Structure 1
Amino acid sequence: MKKILIAIVVVLSLLHTSVVSAQDLFSGSDLSTVQVDNLSNADIIKLKNQLQANSISLTQAEKLALSKGMSATEFGKLRIRLETVSDTPSSDNSSSLNGTVDSKELTRKQEKISNIKVKDTVNALIFGSELFDTPTLNFEPNLKLATPVNYVLGPGDELQVSVYGVQEFNAAVPVTMEGKVNIQYVGQIAVSGMTIEAATQKIKAAIARVYSTVASGQSQVGISLNRIRTIRVTIIGSKQPGNYSISSLATVYNALFLGGGPGKNGSYRNIELLRNNVVYRNVDLYRFLVNGDQSDNVGLKDNDVIRIPAYNQRVTVEGQVKRPGIFEMKKGETFSDLLTFASGFNEFAYTASVNVLQKTNKEFKVTDIKGSEFDSYKPLSGDVFRVSKILNRFENRIKIEGAVFRPDTYSFYEGMRVSDLISKADGLKEDAYTNRARIIRLQSDLTTEIVNVNLDQALSGDLDADVPLKREDVVTVYSILDFEEEFKITIDGEIKKPGVYQYYDNLTLNDLLVQAGGLTGSASKRVEVARMIISEEIDDTNPNKAELFNIEIIAGNNEQAKNFALLPFDVVNIRKMAVYDKPEMVTVTGAVHYAGKYVLANKKDRVYDVIQRAGGLTSVANIEGVRIKRPIQAKQIEDLENVNLNLGKQDSIQAKLEKKLKEDLKYATIPVDWKAIVKNPKSSTNVTLFSGDEIEVVAFNEGVKVTGNVLLTSEIPYDGGKGFNYYVNAAGGVDAKGWKKKAYIIYPNGKAAVAHSFLFIRSYPKVTPGSQIIVPEKPETKKMSTGEFVSIAGVLASLAGVIIAILR
């Protein structure tokens, strides 16, 4: 117990030392117990200001401190802090002893107040509901604005008191629970219940009694609201009713937003603000929603109650208004007021009358409100107003189309004639057919009729021909071009731009040749023109379907010997020269003396001929490794696509074949038996070459490559005395998925051989140097399920029963 009392005394002494040093460090006679580390930044700033005010240097202060018992170590710490500290007070927690605050905090503080908003789907159609479920709209008070002069102080507020001039003082002083502020050297001042303006005057007067320079005007006093308190209000009838702690600067709208706005049946127009058990104000949100009027957005006080009663009457507006929804009406308001709430009719609304669905005590009834009754009709609770669309028809529309300069829709007036409408359309075009124009007229029974007009007579002043028009008439002026057939002419063959061209009068063969880009280099002098036979009578003795003309032209300058005139639908064919074959080339690669590209000089050049031109095989060539790589032609793929294998719609074999030819295989390999060719150049393996072929001569390789489903893909040195199995085993053997009995070998010349069996004896192909052994993968087989086994067993049992019954 004694040790505990000693510890308490020590702590109190340290606290006392800190407080004394914070008030005036050098005023004490004994500084041996001062701990510089216990001093706040505000204490150091104050001490620095005192030294500067009394013109005391750090050297003089050191002598004074040491003479009063401060150790040199502690004063060294003090010197460092005096030299490095900023003249601006810090916001350290220890600054609460003299009330200093951080000058970086330029705005007043307030406890953060928030409420999670949930999108209101039940009341989404009620006008104004979106005001309270939009997170970006919260009516939160702006703490950066100047303090209202009528703001009433209370416990929890904090004032910033500053004296500046000859004398300086800066402190943040809170309003205590007793409603007072405690200012150093001045004392306690009661400010609770006073406006900020009145409290300012009272505090200034109290400070002037202590600071002489304030009374003389040499120093000034500034007082501002640094931290505002929170107040508690109660909200009844909202979506989230309850007690809320909100800012003392908050208003009614801020509180309503926190409460989620009126509940399901809550009123938006008769919200009561109760203060001291008396209705202080009736809030109508429509004033803000419709006019932006915030006169009802008054400030709140502690213990205010916001009561949201149930609505009295609501009506619904549907259809062609700018803001359809559910609206709350007050007594005495008319349909015109409701239309204002709905932002008026939209562009397509029928405004002559509005249909109203009303509820009686027993049933529904329908009422029509005329436009003249909008200002007098008073909606009833439950009314459903339906604003319909205007009719999709015109009261004065007339239309003209065809061979006029401005075909369009025009306004109609009584007495309007055809000539008037043509004049509105800027007259007839040059190609107008004036013997007849057509009017499509809508009759009174909505059927249509045609009225024909002679434009020549109508425009010459004949009133009988100048037919009077009616509303919704459609006048069509024909063009003579509409009656002309569109003639075409075709050119094909050795021309740069073959195709179908427009026919013009006086078109000649020379004109068409130039229009089609001229002749190609392979064009011959022969041109054939086919012309259709035209006759009113059928001539059974003439078997010809077309008349043919053979013409000779000069191919060099695209001209003909005679200027041949063409007729519509002629077909011109430019023939190709009898001999015009561009040189074709093949490629020789690999172990030959002169690899490269070679032109096929003979129509029947063969492998042997081209290899001889390439200098023959080199000493490193593998005579069993000569092969031809022939590109797959587009026609081969097309032929495969045209073949129907009758595999069914779901079978993908043919599609896979086509894909393999198009994407995977770029060429086909033709094996060449070079030994047979050397012995007999007329051997069948000495194939004729085609353009694009590549002759590949493989260099001799003593290795045998083993790939596929083996344990290790390898290249095994060739051993003439070993067979197929030796090389497979040398690669680790076949893996779990390998299908050895379907293994095959590819020889250097591209030829392949597969394993085969006879009378349970399996034989494998011969292995040669440079060949490749491939072990394929076993196809996946679907195992029979237990259910399938049971089904088959059942069928077999039934079949056995039938057989037994027959045998009996």
Structure 2
Amino acid sequence: MKKIFIVIILFIALCQTSTLSAQDILKGKDLSTVRVDLLSDEDIVKIKTQLESNNMSIDQVESTALSKGMSAGEFAKLKNRLATTATLDKTNAKNVNSDNEEGVRKQEAVGNNKEKDVANSFVFGSELFDNPNLNFQPNLKIATPVNYVLGPGDELQVSVNGVQEFNASVPVTVEGKVNIQYVGQIAVAGLTIEVATQKIKGAISRIYSTVRSGQSQVTVSLSGIRTIMVTIIGSKQPGNYSISSLATVYNALFLGGGPGVNGTYRNIELIRNNKVYKNVDIYRFLVSGNQSDNVGLKDNDVIRIPAYTNRVTLEGAVKRPGIFEMKKGENFSHLLTFASGFNEFAYTASVNVLQKTGKEFKVADIQESQYSSYVPLNGDEYRVSKILNRFENRIIINGAVFRPNTYSFYEGMRVSDLIKQAEGLKEDAYLKRARIVRLKEDLTKEIVNIDLATAMTGDATSNIVLKKEDVVTVYSVLDFKEEYKVTIEGEINRPNVYDYQDNLTLNDLIIAAGGLTGSASKRVEIARMIRSEEIDDSNPNKVELFNIEITPDSNEQLTNFALKPFDIVNIRRMAVIHKPEMVTVTGSVIYPGKYVLAGKKEKIYDVVKRAGGLTSLASLNGVKIKRPIKKGQIEDLENIDLNLGEKDSIQNKLEKRLKDEVKFATIPVDWGKVIKNQSSNANVTLLPGDEIDVSPFNETVKVAGNVLLTSEIPYNKNKGFNYYLDAVGGLDAKGWRKKAYIIYPNGEAAVSHKVLLFFRSNPKVLPGSQIVVPEKPETEKMSAAQWVSIASVLVSMGVLLVTAIKP
């Protein structure tokens, strides 16, 4: 008994408010009787809060707790409980926002995996139970319903506020009672929350005198909702479900996946105490949003979904086609209501139905007058067709009227009436003829021609009566005119093809084409087509040519030549006109920059001389010309067939390299020859866009490619090609020695070549040169089998030879 009293005292101590520190609780007189398993989760949270408020951890108070009699096992349990609470806090952190507000109820989460109803996908209402966002789950944050009946598992929040304070969360026990401290047990099971509140207030007022006097107030609220058990039969996922006591029929049906393949949507039974309590018709909710059938559930309720009695199919031009369930007494008009009625293209005068007679199929037509009386039969298939793609009163006019369009036809309409409706004839209308395309009775078309001028005067012969679907065409005089053009080319700012108008002259055309260019000459050639009714074999000319002279400085010519349709005008270019063209000089010259070519055959020596000549640091072997590759050169290469085969890509790679990579062609210049003799072929004639590049003197020789070390070696005039290869360690495993070449500073290249038998002549090395060793091409090694084959062939040839020379 004493130990129990100590445990109670310790429990009360652990439940004190957070104003006490963790040391005060753990410094009790005797902690040997503490049993951590008896502490609630709220007690553990309070201890954790007290430790955090004092900036202490559980490890820091371990020695104190053990010295006061707490066993190491109990302390380990306490430490583990605190750690578990911290983990739970982190896991539930995302739900703390509004759910921790005072007064929000707790409820065990209930859910079910949703599966797409493939079998019933066309049945009206099946999508209601496939949508995970529509679950009819009760809202736990609303005020407590006054008619809510309490039962075991519910939890009440009882508070006394005022002079006396009290706050406790009390569960309803399995016996249906709540146990309130100092008040005792109160039976509340089977009572509504309103009646239970009054009963609890009366019991508390007998203990708390301030409640009786009104100095303190009592509030009772539902803080935790119990879970009830319901059974669902006939659903896609039948079974027993534990759901909230606030749940409704639709919530339970959603958890069960809705009616099964053959389940009814119109007569679902809610069975309570072995009796049908409610017949649920889901169509009331689907069609009009009426939730009167969505009643609350009670423990041990059964939801039974029987098989349907009458289902029909409605397809075609309705707003919501599908399979619908019909109840006794409903007609075809109700079916149209379920489908939201006809759509805008529906033929509404009658509906075709395919019926089953028990022996065979039967086709019937329901007239519009029968919609409210016809009773659909089980298995009926209704098809609503579309209206015909034709018009009952259409007539069309197009052509030279102000408003060509489709108009409404009426009996007795004539040609003049339709033209008046189209705002009348245009000025260019052709009055001698109009055409009517008419549909005959055999559905073939005929053309009716009328005199439009007499028709507009009201003459009955021409102003005929029209028929529906007639297409009236009013011609324009412009339709019969050829579209005339003239062409101007040559030294004109906007050469092009222009429209011809009557009285068009050369001056008019020149102005329309933007005027003459500055290089236009006085000579103009005009070509005119020859028109004749007779063939003149003696005249070899195909066109008639006119050569005239104009004043190039003026767009207004004194001789204003009159043009005719399809004339071609060519403005000739001046015989002598040269715009200044330039070349560029870079590198080691006195005055680098751009220079104009002064002569028709300007030489490199002349331009370098104008640039001040070479500097003292220039390399005489480093003069070269970089000439841009022109588009015509690439086109010439494309037109050459190298006969390499269709699959060979050598020519394609060469063309691509010239287009994308190589921008200039390098012309090496032997400057020594140029200085000695300006008339030598080394003194190259320059072209516009050329760049003369003079390299500075370089005392090294660069060695690159497939060598062991890419490097620059000081130039030694007494050493040759092999010296520089040896100076970088020689060739690597892939180096191709016999194809090694040298590039001189002026861009010229040289390669070693065979002189006699195994002797090779290497090119001379100059300062600033670059030696390149290429990579050997990969060759496929012969296999042992290939060598054996070759050997066998040689042996066979030897045997044949011996046989042949034997006497």
TM-score per shorter chain, which class? 0.7 to 0.9
Contact 1:250 1:300 in 2 (8 A): yes
Cα 1:338/1:756, change in 2 over 3 Å: farther
User: What whole-Å deviation, never above 9, does each CA across 1:474-519 have from its counterpart, x for those lacking one?
Assistant: 1001111111111111111111111011111222211111111111
Q: How far apart, in 2, do the equivalents of 1:511 and 1:327 lie? A: 79
Aligned to 1:300: 297
Contact 1:433 1:479 in 2 (8 A): yes
Q: How far apart, in 2, do the equivalents of 1:444 and 1:478 lie? A: 27
Contact 1:17 1:34 in 2 (8 A): no
Cα 1:25/1:536, change in 2 over 3 Å: closer
Q: Which residue identity lines up with residue 9 of structure 2 in the other structure?
A: H
Aligned to 2:534: 537
Q: How far apart, in 2, do the equivalents of 1:763 and 1:178 lie? A: 117
Q: Is 1:234 equivalent to 2:221 in the alignment?
A: no
Identity score, percent: 71
Q: Please point out which of 682, 701, 705 is paired with 1:704.
A: 701
Q: How far apart, in 1, do the equivalents of 2:187 and 2:422 lie? A: 89
Cα 1:439/1:695, change in 2 over 3 Å: same
Aligned to 1:252: 249
Aligned to 1:80: none
> What SS is found at the alignment partner of 1:554?
coil
Cα 1:314/1:649, change in 2 over 3 Å: farther
Q: Please point out which of 490, 494, 502 is paired with 2:499.
A: 502
Q: Which residue identity lines up with residue 752 of structure 1 in the other structure?
A: A
Contact 1:18 1:34 in 2 (8 A): no
Q: How far apart, in 1, do the equivalents of 2:781 and 2:476 lie? A: 78
Q: Please point out which of 190, 195, 199 is paired with 1:193.
A: 190
Q: Which has the larger displacement, 224-233 or 321-330?
A: 321-330
Q: Is 1:182 equivalent to 2:179 in the alignment?
A: yes
What pairs with 1:165-180 in structure 2 (closer than 5 Å)? 165-180=162-177
Q: How far apart, in 2, do the equivalents of 1:417 and 1:24 lie? A: 102
Q: How far apart, in 2, do the equivalents of 1:650 and 1:372 lie? A: 79
Residue 9 (structure 1) shift: 7.4
Residue 796 (structure 1) shift: 8.8
**Aligned pair count?**
737
Contact 2:178 2:188 in 1 (8 A): yes
Q: Is 1:462 equivalent to 2:451 in the alignment?
A: no
Q: Which residue identity lines up with residue 657 of structure 1 in the other structure?
A: L
Residue 150 (structure 1) shift: 1.1
Q: How far apart, in 1, do the equivalents of 2:368 and 2:322 lie? A: 21
**TM-score, normalising length from structure 2?**
0.84
Q: Please point out which of 6, 20, 25 is paired with 1:13.
A: 6
What pairs with 1:777-788 in structure 2 (closer than 5 Å)? 777-781=775-779
Contact 2:103 2:221 in 1 (8 A): no
Contact 1:626 1:671 in 2 (8 A): yes
Q: Which has the larger displacement, 450-459 or 698-707?
A: 698-707
Q: Is 1:517 equivalent to 2:517 in the alignment?
A: no
Q: Which residue identity lines up with residue 178 of structure 2 in the other structure?
A: V
Cα 1:790/1:158, change in 2 over 3 Å: farther
Residue 443 (structure 1) shift: 1.1
> What SS is found at the alignment partner of 2:577?
coil
Aligned to 1:57: none
What pairs with 1:324-723 in structure 2 (closer than 5 Å)? 324-645=321-642, 647=644, 650-723=647-720
Contact 1:21 1:34 in 2 (8 A): no
Aligned to 2:757: 759
Q: How far apart, in 2, do the equivalents of 1:194 and 1:647 lie? A: 103
Contact 1:139 1:253 in 2 (8 A): yes
**TM-score, normalising length from structure 1?**
0.84
Residue 398 (structure 1) shift: 0.7
Q: How far apart, in 2, do the equivalents of 1:785 and 1:427 lie? A: 95
> What SS is found at the alignment partner of 2:553?
helix
What pairs with 1:272-287 in structure 2 (closer than 5 Å)? 272-287=269-284
Q: Please point out which of 738, 756, 769 is paired with 2:767.
A: 769
Contact 2:151 2:226 in 1 (8 A): yes
Q: Which residue identity lines up with residue 122 of structure 1 in the other structure?
A: A
Q: Which residue identity lines up with residue 13 of structure 1 in the other structure?
A: I
Q: How far apart, in 1, do the equivalents of 2:123 and 2:41 lie? A: 58
Q: How far apart, in 2, do the equivalents of 1:132 and 1:435 lie? A: 73
Cα 1:359/1:656, change in 2 over 3 Å: farther
Alignment root-mean-square deviation, CA: 3.5
Unaligned runs of 5+ in 2: 47-87, 90-97
Aligned to 1:97: none
Q: Which residue identity lines up with residue 308 of structure 2 in the other structure?
A: Y
Aligned to 1:159: 156
Residue 669 (structure 1) shift: 0.8
Q: Is 1:207 equivalent to 2:200 in the alignment?
A: no
Aligned to 1:269: 266
Residue 783 (structure 1) shift: 7.0
Q: Which has the larger displacement, 243-252 or 322-331?
A: 322-331
Contact 1:129 1:261 in 2 (8 A): yes
What pairs with 1:66-105 in structure 2 (closer than 5 Å)? 104-105=101-102
Q: How far apart, in 2, do the equivalents of 1:784 and 1:418 lie? A: 95
Q: Which residue identity lines up with residue 670 of structure 2 in the other structure?
A: D
Cα 1:229/1:574, change in 2 over 3 Å: same
Residue 700 (structure 1) shift: 1.3
> What SS is found at the alignment partner of 1:526?
strand
Cα 1:135/1:610, change in 2 over 3 Å: same
Q: How far apart, in 2, do the equivalents of 1:10 and 1:733 lie? A: 99
Cα 1:265/1:666, change in 2 over 3 Å: same
Q: How far apart, in 2, do the equivalents of 1:25 and 1:607 lie? A: 101
> What SS is found at the alignment partner of 2:511?
helix
Q: Which has the larger displacement, 546-555 or 287-296?
A: 546-555
